[in-house]
Structure 1
Amino acid sequence: MTNKKKHILLLASSPKSLVNFRGPLIRDLIASGHRVSVGAPDINQELREQLEEMGATVHETPLKRTGTGILADIYYGTVLKRIMARERPDIVLTYTIKPNIWGAFAASLLGISSVAMVTGLGYAFIENGSESFRRRFVRGVAQKLYRAATNRNRKVIFQNPDDPIDFVALGCLKDETKIAIINGSGVDLQHYARTPLPDAPVFLMIARLLRNKGVTEYGEAALRVLAKYPQARFLLTGPFDEGPDTVTRAELDHWVDGGLEYLGPSSDVRNVLAQARIFVLPSYREGTPRSVLEAMATGRTVITSDAPGCRETVKNGENGFLVPIQNVDALANAMEYAINHPEMISRMAEASWRLARDRYEVGAVNQTIMRHLGL
């Protein structure tokens, strides 16, 4: 670690994530005396003001998050290179696929050190038996681009032990000495403080309405359980997504007609978490799911999938339950068990909070990231 103060350029694909997921990191970097610039697309005035109040310099970047047009991506990389040439950061820190790839290329052309954070392998890397030629093609291109990008990175940071193994196996990373692992994005235990558990069996899922998040399994399991336990409640909050994996409005309406309560997107999930007794995320794959960490910090039992990223957050039978991915039967059974064993759920909720405190506290995670950056 060096005492020299550095200029870090942090690049994201989602402007809100800079505040919601990386705000504590930005603050900790600035509190340590470093200069921070950030870049993302579609930064509105409110977000710009929040970031500037933290002390960050803000740059607009022309990124289409879900597009596959190579010309638009090359233009994005050209703008990144222009920003880097003007600002001359010491380190470029990126996360999510497009900033990771094009940020590495732009930094390399200027001789600037870059570090990528792989916060999950994402839709393009999740295989299924009926996938289209186009999806296979997109995955193949993404793998080749990622390999070229990580060849240029100084370090590649992952959020769970499964992702780097698969990343190397897919040919996305050649030099395994670049691998570093952190405990997700961390969670602010003061912001997401513990709240009392409701007595009623209330289940909650917070996610973008994507199939790979397990929204379909949650909706179908909710209908099964409600047919036997009408006193239970099933809450779902999160926005529709413009990506190819999105859940349809008709599917959501079917679940709502059966009793599921859709709350829409939420700008502050703490109020929603306070209503819930059990948090559910049957995702197919994550880096480390931030929504689960927030639920654990507020003291909630967790039902999640036995999948990369998710399985690290639950010790099965201690702070929740692990279920196989894409398995409505197993998910519904775990939900029924939670309804029928309320005293166990209360003990598991306490264990969740302790795990969040001991493994995922955001300050400790940020110190690890800063160490990997050489700060």
Structure 2
Amino acid sequence: MSSRTVLVNASYAPSLTIFRGPLIRAMVAAGHRVHASAPGLTGETARAVAALGAEPHDVPLSRAGLNPVDDLAYLRAVRALIRRTGADLVLGYTIKPCIFGSLAARSCGVESASLVTGLGFAFIPGKGAVRRLVGLASRQLWRRATAANRVVIFQNPDDRDDFIAAGALADAGKARLVNGSGVDMAHYAPAPLPGDARFLMIARLLGNKGVREYAEAACRLIAAGSRARFALGGFFDEGPDGIDPAELAAWRAAGLDYMGPLDDVRPALAACSVYVLPSYREGTPRTVLEAMATGRAVITTDAPGCRETVRSGDTGLLVPVHDVAATAAAMKALSEDGAARARMGRAGRDLCEEKYAVEKVNAAMLGHLRLA
């Protein structure tokens, strides 16, 4: 295997270490030169990326903006970076790095791949002319980008099938599958369960993450006299689906504990006994894997990406999407059954080790990218 120069493009700088750190280390360990780009990739985050063995690059990118002038500036910046670094493989994850990074690679005659970590807002059904236009434009851009890719890697079969059905990937033979981003089983070690029922959700404060369903279910249980504790961690998102601060204030007034953004989720996971993610769809939800690795029962939705992570009745419970009542009922059931919480937590850890250990996922990634 010959050494290659790989450029990994991200839309959120900390994700390069939080989500892709083990993959970057694996690429470097395999003898490849790795560069990484993201907006705001400076200071401590840049030093952390360098510590992985990759060279960091700060690029201009508006993650949630819809201004084509800004997107064109990003495409030009990535194209210049490809030429400056001599990259011969470009890997993007999240929508804009995938789309515009792939188009930049094609203009430079360089191989590219996209890692689809979730279909996101544009693929989730909804009302409104703006949403329909954003969805249509997104699918058309994806089709152009994936035409430039050698492979398109998905984290669950529903995303793959829906992406192809939407016309975003013309050549289905390019599709590959991996089991999420993987989780470091040593870093997320099992932690003793609290004796009482404590529920936790960690996510960007977006409607499509199921934040409203979780918060409203928690508020219903609190109002009904539940002695369980309910916590929410995560940062506000400026995207079109972001939670309004006034909504959060109302939930807090009703008894929900808002923990704010979390740099390290492990203490919060150790303090909970059940993890909840009522998301509308995911690639593979990383926080669910982290919760499973630490030995927590999980409540999540019977939705693409989420349903693959939980064996209902064994490692946790599945509930319908958008269903506050079902979410509340599942939380109530586990709040009253400490033995089930412990049993499901142990089974979740075993499943995570079997299917989602980061070494196994990264080996598959390197194979699909022809870096192994």
Please indicate the TM-score interval, normalised by the length of the shorter structure. Answer: over 0.9
Letter in 1 for 2:346: E
Contact 2:278-2:301 at 8 Å conserved across structures: yes
Q: Which residue of 2 aligns with 1:27?
A: 25
Contact 2:311–2:317 (Cα < 8 Å) also in 1: yes
The one-letter amino acid paired with 2:278 is P
1:243 aligns with 2:215: no
CA distances 1:197-222 after superposition (whole Å, capped 9, x unpaired): 10110000000111100000011100
- Counterpart residue number, 2:306: 310
One-letter amino acid matched to 1:274: A
Q: Counterpart of 1:321 in 2: which secondary structure?
A: strand
Q: Alignment partner of 1:236: what SS?
A: strand
Give 3-state SS (helix, strand or coil) of 1:15's partner: coil
2:195 is aligned to 199
Bigger drift between 204-213 and 250-259 goes to 250-259
**Which of 267, 270, 273 lines up with 2:266 in the alignment?**
270
Aligned to 2:131: 135
Residue 59 of structure 2 is matched in structure 1 by 61
1:178 aligns with 2:174: yes
Counterpart Cα distance in 2 of 1:227 and 1:235: 15
RMSD: 0.8
Instruction: Map 1:63-82 onto structure 2 (within 5 A).
Output: 63-82=61-80
Residue matched to 1:117: 115
Distance, in Å, in 2 between the alignment partners of 1:328 and 1:120 is 23
Pick from 80, 87, 90: which aligns with 2:88?
90
Q: How far 1:44 moved relative to its partner? A: 2.8
- In structure 2, what is the equivalent of residue 6 of structure 1? 4
Count, aligned residues: 371
| Aligned equivalent of 1:38 | 36
Three-state SS of the structure 2 residue aligned to 1:263 is strand
Once the two structures are TM-superposed, the CA of residue 228 in structure 1 deviates from its matched residue by 2.9
Q: Aligned equivalents of 2:265 and 2:75: distance in 1? A: 34
CA-to-aligned-CA distance 1:48-104 (integer Å, 9 cap, x gap): 111112211111111100001111101110111111112121211110110111111
Summarize deviations over 1:220-265 as a string: whole Å, max 9, x none: 1001112234310001010111111111111111111111101111
For 2:226 and 2:303, the matched residues in 1 are separated by 30
Q: Distance in 1 between matches of 2:199 and 2:216?
A: 13
Q: TM-score, normalized by length of structure 2?
A: 0.98
Pair 1:294-2:290 in alignment:
yes
**Structure 1 ranges of 4+ moved more than 4 A:** none
Counterpart of 2:344 (choices 348, 362, 366) is 348
Please tell me whether residue 252 in structure 1 is matched to residue 266 in structure 2. no
Matched, 1:188 2:184: yes
CA contact (8 A) 2:202 2:287 kept: yes
- 1:207 aligned partner, one-letter code: A
**Quick one: distance in 2 between partners of 1:75 and 1:253?**
37
Residue of structure 2 equivalent to 1:364: 360
Q: Which amino acid in 1 is paired with 2:148?
A: R
